[in-house]
């Protein structure tokens, strides 16, 4: 049936209003419950109304019926989720709707969502009781800056990975200003999505509320991270200078470091891990 102009515009306004109403729900779930929402892998956190609607449109390439994802259904799912006092989780709304269509078995969408997320229902941790994992970036070249962007973007309520410090060699005058500027702008990936402030007196960069200590050092074994309040940290060496166990183990001599990850191909007995290929090789020990 051919749509009339007023009908077409009215339907768009309706979808636009629902997408607008989804934004605070997405933010609330992310910051209060550490729940990350997406649509077939496309993140919804800090996205605009149009970006959310485009994600719904994109879903037609993934849905069995090749139909655009209904914003009415995803809005209902989010409303149900905010009422469940959820613990930390990653929820793909597109996949959830697809599973509901295939396996709903007469249940309402509300009941289906409650059944699917029952494992994390009522598991919310109070903000005061949350303890994230401290992360230190050793090196702050392009890879380091992109990692910093990702870590800041995914901070959430603070009980996941938290960027606490970067370690670099002392540069020229105004080094802190220049490093903040490089974080703020990237010729390929564009501008940083948020705000960045520097405190030259205390050598810190604050990015979207993340206080990042800038530590100047030329020796990977001589930094006492505990003096900056950093404990049991995951240190990511992105310099590429040390690529074997002997070189990287220098970091473990530093108070406050518990584990070390290398971003470049490792040498010797170090495991080279590619997610989706051999990430199962990573074990608890």
- The domains of the chain are located at 5-120, 129-281
CATH number of the 129-281 domain: 3.40.50.720
Q: Which two tokens stand for residue 158?
A: 């603070």
SS3 122: coil
| Distance between CA atoms of residues 45 and 30, nearest Å | 8
| Distance between CA atoms of residues 91 and 10, nearest Å | 30
The 257-262 sheet, strands edge to edge: 196-199, 204-207, 210-216, 161-168, 133-138, 233-237, 257-262
What would the pLDDT profile of 123-171 be if each residue is shown by its tens digit? 887 655 557 899 999 999 999 999 999 999 888 778 789 999 999 998 7
* Strands 133-138, 161-168: pairing kind: parallel
What would the pLDDT profile of 31-76 be if each residue is shown by its tens digit? 888 899 999 989 899 899 999 999 999 988 887 778 899 999 999 9
Q: How many C-beta neighbours within 10 Å does residue 67 have?
A: 10
Q: Which two tokens stand for residue 128?
A: 């005061």
pTM: 0.78
């Amino acid at each position: 049936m051919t749509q009339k102009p007023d009908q077409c515009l009215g339907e768009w306004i309706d979808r636009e209003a629902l997408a607008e109403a989804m934004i605070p729900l997405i933010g609330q779930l992310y910051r209060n419950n550490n729940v990350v929402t997406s649509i077939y892998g496309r993140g919804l956190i800090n996205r605009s109304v149009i970006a959310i609607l485009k994600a719904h449109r994109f879903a037609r390439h993934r849905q069995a019926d090749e139909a655009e994802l209904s914003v009415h259904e995803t809005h209902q799912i989010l409303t149900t989720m905010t009422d469940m006092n959820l613990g930390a989780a990653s929820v793909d709304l597109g996949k959830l709707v697809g599973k509901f269509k295939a396996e709903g078995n007469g249940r309402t969408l509300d009941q289906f969502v409650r059944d699917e997320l029952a494992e994390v229902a009522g598991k919310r941790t109070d903000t005061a009781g949350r303890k994230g994992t401290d992360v230190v970036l050793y090196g702050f070249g392009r890879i380091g800056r992109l990692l910093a962007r990702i870590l800041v973007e995914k901070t959430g309520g603070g009980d996941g990975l938290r960027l606490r410090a970067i370690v670099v060699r002392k540069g020229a005058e105004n080094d802190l200003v220049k490093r903040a500027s490089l974080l703020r702008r990237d010729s390929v990936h564009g501008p940083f999505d948020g705000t960045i402030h520097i405190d030259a007196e205390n050598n810190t960069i604050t990015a979207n509320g993340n206080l990042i200590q800038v530590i100047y050092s030329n020796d990977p074994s001589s930094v006492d991270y505990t003096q900056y309040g950093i404990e049991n940290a995951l240190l990511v060496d992105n310099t590429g200078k040390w690529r074997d166990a002997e070189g990287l183990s220098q970091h473990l001599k530093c108070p406050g470091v518990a584990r070390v990850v290398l971003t470049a191909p490792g040498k010797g007995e170090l495991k080279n891990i590619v997610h989706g290929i051999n990430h199962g090789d990573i074990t608890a020990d």
